Structure 1
Amino acid sequence: MERMALVSDVHGNLTAYEAVLDDIERRGIERVLNLGDYVGKGPRGREVVELSQQRCEVNLLGNWDDFLPDPERTIDDEALRFWLAQLGPGQGEWLRSLPFCHDFWLSGRRVRLFHASEQSVHRRVRYVRSQAEFESLFANTEATGDGPAPDLIGYADTHDPMYEVQLEGRAVFNTGSVGNCMGDPTPMYCILEGELGSEEVAPWSVAYVRVPYDVEAELAVAREMEMPQYDMYELELVQGIYRGHIDAWRAGEPLTGYHER
C-alpha cells in the first residue's frame, strides 16, 4: 500500500505550509502532490513556490498561478502588484507552465487530479452543484487530454473539503486548503492510500488531516511586509470567513455557507 499526501491552495501562507509538510514527514509519507494555487492572498508566494519545487513530486496549475504572472495582463490593483512582485526570477514562467492534471491507477481506480474542474482552472465547481456538473468532472476534455475515463476525481480550488460517491462507484473529493480553509481555518490536506499503479481492484482510502499552526506568526509577517488586503487575510485565517464577506461580517449580518456562493 502506497500513501501520498495531496496539498493545495497554500496561497503564500508559508507558516501553514511548513506545518503541513512537517506533519507529512512525521507520518513517513514521501510522495507529496500539490494541486495548485501557490501564490496570492498571503505574503510569501516566492518561498511557497521554492518549497513546492523541492518537496512535491507533482505540481499542478491553479487559477492564481495562471492569471497572476500572465505577461499579457495589465495589473492595476495594488494587492495583485504586491503578490506578483513577491515572485522570484523565473517563477512566474514556471507556474504558468505547470501541467493541468495528473492521472494514475490506484487499486483498480483511474484517478484524475486537477485544480478546479475538467474544463479550466478558472471554472469553479462548488460543494452545492448540479448533477450535470458532477458528471462532467469525469469527462475527457481538451484540457485533460484523452485516455481512460477516470472514476475517482480529486480537486481543490474552493477551499471547501468534501467527499461524494454516486452510482457506478464514481467518487469525487475536494482536498480543502492549506493556506486558508473556509469554515474551520485550520490547514487541511488529504492522504490517499492504495496500490499505486495497479489496475487490480484492492483496498484504497482517502483521509483528511487538520494541522494546527502558529497563525499569529503568519499574520505578523504579513503586517511586517505591509501586505495589501491584510484585514481580509486575517479574516480568512482567523475566522475562516471568505474575504468577499468582510463587509457583511463587520456589519454583523448572518452569513450563509461559503460553498453556496
Structure 2
Amino acid sequence: MQLERIALISDVHGNLTALEAVLADIEARGITRIFNLGDYVGKGPRGQAVVDRCREVCEVNILGNWDDFLPDPDREWPAGGSMLWWQQELRADQRTWLRSLPFCHDFQLSGRQIRIFHASATTVHHRVYFDHDATAYRGMFENTPATGDGPLPTVVGYGDTHDAYYESDLGRTLINVGSVGNSLNDPTPVYTVLEGGADATAPFGIQFVRVPYDAHAELAHARELGAPELDGYEAEIIHGIYRGTLYAGKTSTYHRD
C-alpha cells in the first residue's frame, strides 16, 4: 500500500537557521510535501529570507497572526520600535503576500477529514492553549465564517502557542504542530509529520520531530543585523523562556507568540 507523508511546519518567526535545519531533515526523510501554518515573520531577524524560502518549498502556506498584523498598512508602528524594524525588514511585495494568505486548508488522508489553521477556527488572533476546556476543544472542529462551509474536520492541526501536543477525544484529534523557529520550554525546533493514504482503510500516523540546530549562530546573525529585543530572542531560542517574562511590568510593543 502506497503511503504519503506531509510535513506540517509553523511559527518560523524569522529564524532562518532553524528553518534550514528542519528543511534538511524533511528532505533527508524523503518528504516532498510541506504545509506551513503561518507566522513566518517577527521575533527573529530574517523574515524576508524566511518568506522567500517558504514560498519556494511549501506547497501550502496559510496566514498567521503576525503575518496579519505586522504588515498591516493601516497600522503605524512607533519609530525606532521593534515592530517597525521587523516590518521594514520585509519587502513591500512580501507584506502584500503575507496578508493575502488563506485562513485554513482542508484535505483528506486515510479517510480522515483534516483541517489546518494557525490559531483557532474563528480568527488568527484567538489563542487556544494546551490547558483548554471542553468548549474550546469542540470549537476547534466547527465551521465558522473564517473557515467557510464544508465537511467538518475529524483532525485539526494548528500552531500559534509554540507548544507541540496531541489530544484525541470524541472521535476527533487535535494536534499542535509546534514551532520551528521559536519553540518554548524545549527550544529545539519541532515539526509534525502526517502519514496516510488515499484509501480510507490506509494506516494513519502522526509523528513529532525535533531537530537540533546551532541556535548560537542564529543569535549571532541577529546581533550582526542589529535586530531588536536581543535579550528576549536569546531567552527564547537558547533557553525556551518566553520573552514576555523579561518585560513584565515594562511597556513593550511585543505581541505574545
TM range (shorter): over 0.9
CA shift for structure 1 position 201: 3.5
The residue that corresponds to 2:233 in the other structure is: 233
CA distance in 2, matches of 1:216, 1:41: 15
CA contact (8 A) 1:163 1:173 kept: yes
CA distance in 2, matches of 1:104, 1:59: 14
Alignment of 1:46-195 (within 5 A): 46-76=48-78, 78-167=81-170, 169-195=171-197
Q: What secondary structure sits across from 1:4 in the alignment?
A: strand
After superposition, the C-alpha distances for 1:60-103 in whole angstroms (9 at most, x for unaligned) are 00000000000011111610011001112300000000000000
After superposition, the C-alpha distances for 1:142-185 in whole angstroms (9 at most, x for unaligned) are 00000001010000000001100002x10100011000101100
CA distance in 1, matches of 2:51, 2:227: 18
The residue that corresponds to 2:253 in the other structure is: none
Q: What secondary structure sits across from 2:92 in the alignment?
A: coil
Q: Tell me how many residue pairs correspond in the alignment.
A: 246
CA contact (8 A) 1:35 1:155 kept: yes
TM-score for the superposition, normalised by structure 2: 0.94
Q: What secondary structure sits across from 1:90 in the alignment?
A: helix
Q: What secondary structure sits across from 2:191 in the alignment?
A: strand
CA contact (8 A) 1:109 1:201 kept: no
Q: What secondary structure sits across from 2:31 in the alignment?
A: coil
Which one of the candidate residues 15, 25, 28 is aligned to 1:26? 28
TM-score for the superposition, normalised by structure 1: 0.92
After superposition, the C-alpha distances for 1:226-260 in whole angstroms (9 at most, x for unaligned) are 11101000000011011111257xxxxxxxxxxxx
The amino acid across from 1:149 in the alignment is L
Q: Do structure 1's residue 206 and structure 2's residue 220 form an aligned pair?
A: no
The residue that corresponds to 1:246 in the other structure is: 246
Runs of 4+ residues deviating >3 angstroms = none
CA distance in 1, matches of 2:91, 2:27: 26
Distance 1:192 1:142, change over 3 A: same
| Structural RMSD (CA) | 1.2
The residue that corresponds to 1:254 in the other structure is: none
Q: What secondary structure sits across from 1:87 in the alignment?
A: coil
The residue that corresponds to 1:258 in the other structure is: none
CA distance in 2, matches of 1:23, 1:132: 36
Q: What secondary structure sits across from 1:206 in the alignment?
A: strand
Alignment gaps of 5+ in structure 2: 249-256
CA distance in 2, matches of 1:69, 1:87: 9
CA distance in 2, matches of 1:213, 1:104: 31
Alignment gaps of 5+ in structure 1: 249-260
